Structure 1
Amino acid sequence: MARIDTNVKSIRYPVPCDEKLTLLARKLKRTKRQLFIEMVDYFYRSKKDPADMNDEMLKSDLSRMGNRLVGFFRTQESELLVPIHGMTEEVLGKTAAVKGELKRIKEEHADLAKLLRENTKHAGEQLKLLTSIFDGLANKEEMRAGFRRIMEGYIKEREALGWSPSSGKKDELVRRFRQQIDKL
């Protein structure tokens, strides 16, 4: 079967253009034929005019893209950034208020701690005073009991000796003696 050559067309172009095409093909690592086919496909699909060096279509596409991006950023700014900024300001304001409250609470806590220390010290002093009073009362009761024993011993001894005064006078003396000891 004979092979049919699909490469039946040829193009003639000047030598300086061939030099440029050769350099471009080397740079892009393609053959001149591959590069030419790709250039034709590119201009066919993009509908660009290779003679138009300014490429107005590209400029208008870039301009439209820039306008779309600016519009997108403005939308994002109004829908997201401005509300977020407002919420951030609100949170910062509340944070400052909370810091002020915490400082006030800390100062009050320090004042209360100082007052508690003073009250604890005062209560300790009161406890010592009450303890000494109760100890004194206990000692007083012990003294009364001791005096009572002494007096009872005195009375028994006196009875044993048999003093001559009358019994009523003796009882009156004993009663007065007991009252005086109780008044201690």
Structure 2
Amino acid sequence: MKDVNIRSVRFSVALDEKFEKIARKLGRTKRLLFAQMVDYFYKTKKDPTDLNDDLLKNTLVKNHQQYIGFIRAQENMLLVPIKVEVDKVSRSQRDIIERFNSEILKHNALVLSGQKSHVLAMAEMEKSVALLVKKTKDADVLKAQFLFLLEEYISARESLGMRASAKDRQELGNKFKDQVRLL
């Protein structure tokens, strides 16, 4: 079997101590750690001298710009039309409220004033009906009193009899006429 590990790298003792500390910390052999480091730098295309990792920053900025572009596209496609429609609905609601306040409230005021005038008219009608009822009762009382006087007159006339003089009859008639006038 041929040994594939024929290459070697020379470095200082201080660097070897750091390298060994890292290998122990990660729990790997120095050879395995070295192979993984090479694979890492090869795959990520990072420069080990770039301690600030500008490539990572650039990638993050690029992704951030893509997200912002996506959000702006969504804003233009969805949010702006929704805002326009909400503004239209808001304006129409304001118009409805203004019309309600101007037309309906005026109509309600007219209806209330009409109701007040109807109430006053009804009160006048009630007074008139009460007056009519009172006059009807007065007329009924008057009729009853008249009937009573008439019956008294008839009985008084019959009590005079046939022999009464015309003068007595005339006095009796005048007396009852005076009583009817007093009703």
Same-fold call, TM cutoff 0.5: yes
Change in CA separation of 1:25 and 1:146 when aligned onto 2, cut-off 3 Å: farther
* Alpha-carbon distance in structure 2 between the residues aligned to 1:119 and 1:110: 14
Look up the SS of the partner of 2:26 in the other structure. coil
- After TM superposition, the structure 1 = structure 2 runs for residues 107-118 of structure 1, keeping only pairs within 5 Å, are 107-118=106-117
AA at the equivalent of 1:94: S
In the alignment, which residue of structure 2 is the partner of 1:92? 90
* 1:63-122 CA-partner distances (Å, limit 9, x unpaired): 643453343123212210111111111111022122223323245334423442442243
What residue number does 1:138 align with?
Answer: 137
- Highest relative contact order (Cα 8 Å, sep 6+), 1 or 2? 1
Change (3 A) 1:21 1:134: farther
Equivalent residue for 2:101?
Answer: 103
1:14 — aligned with what?
Answer: 12
User: What residue in structure 2 maps to residue 161 of structure 1?
Assistant: 160
- Gaps of at least 5 residues in structure 1 are 1-6
Equivalent residue in structure 1 for 2:38, among 37, 40, 44: 40
| Cα 1:66–1:131 shift into 2, 3 Å | same
Amino acid at match of 1:78: N
- TM-score under structure 1 length normalisation: 0.62
Instruction: Supply the RMSD in Å over aligned alpha carbons.
Output: 3.9
Change (3 A) 1:23 1:159: farther
Q: 1:50 aligned to 2:47? A: yes
- The 1:91/1:45 distance shift into structure 2, 3 A limit, reads same
Identity %: 31
- What do the CA deviations read for 1:35-90 (whole angstroms, capped 9, x no partner)? 655533422332x0425738786576456434533431232122101111111111
